[in-house]
Structure 1
Amino acid sequence: MQHDPATGGSALERRLIELETRLAFQEHALAELSQALADARIEGGRNAELLRHMLSDLRKVRTELYADPADEPPPPHY
């Protein structure tokens, strides 16, 4: 091991410190990404539930508006 008096440590020690610093940064970034993914999944679940409710409400409104199938307008391709 070479001791560098100017920096107070060997090249190996400096490299180890740099690798530990990078590892700590990567662990922090991974934790942030994990939390962001968890938040996105929760939001996606809320959005899916909201969409289900909206579709249910739309079916109810459509049923009320067109109780008689003869009153329903033709599809757009006619």
Structure 2
Amino acid sequence: MDPALQQRLADLESRLAHHERMAEDMSEVIIAQGKTIDRLTLQIQRLRDRLETAEYAILSPEDDRPPPHY
């Protein structure tokens, strides 16, 4: 086989290995980000539920009436 062709093939194999490793690394990052997003979404939902509960505990029908000076 021609030495230039062998070198070109070796270069392509090296580049392919590099791209495969990059794809694996990016996949790991995407998985980690997905887990973080899921965790943060759950935290937001819990905070929203707590805030809603606190709002209902504070509000009463009298709060909807305008002040006496109106």
Please give the range of the TM-score, normalised by the shorter of the 2 chains: 0.7 to 0.9
User: Whose helix fraction is larger, Structure 1's or Structure 2's?
Assistant: 2
Q: Does 1:48 align with 2:44?
A: no
Query: Larger relative CO (CA 8 A, sep 6+): 1 or 2?
Result: 1
- State the identity %: 26
User: TM-score of the superposition, structure 2-length normalised?
Assistant: 0.85
Count residues in correspondence: 66
| RMSD (Å) for aligned C-alpha atoms | 1.8
User: Whose strand fraction is larger, Structure 1's or Structure 2's?
Assistant: 1
Structure 1 residues not aligned, in runs of 5+: 3-9
Q: CA deviation at 1:70?
A: 3.3
Runs (4+) of structure 1 exceeding 4 A deviation are: none
CA 48–32 in structure 1, closer or farther in 2 if over 3 Å, else same: same
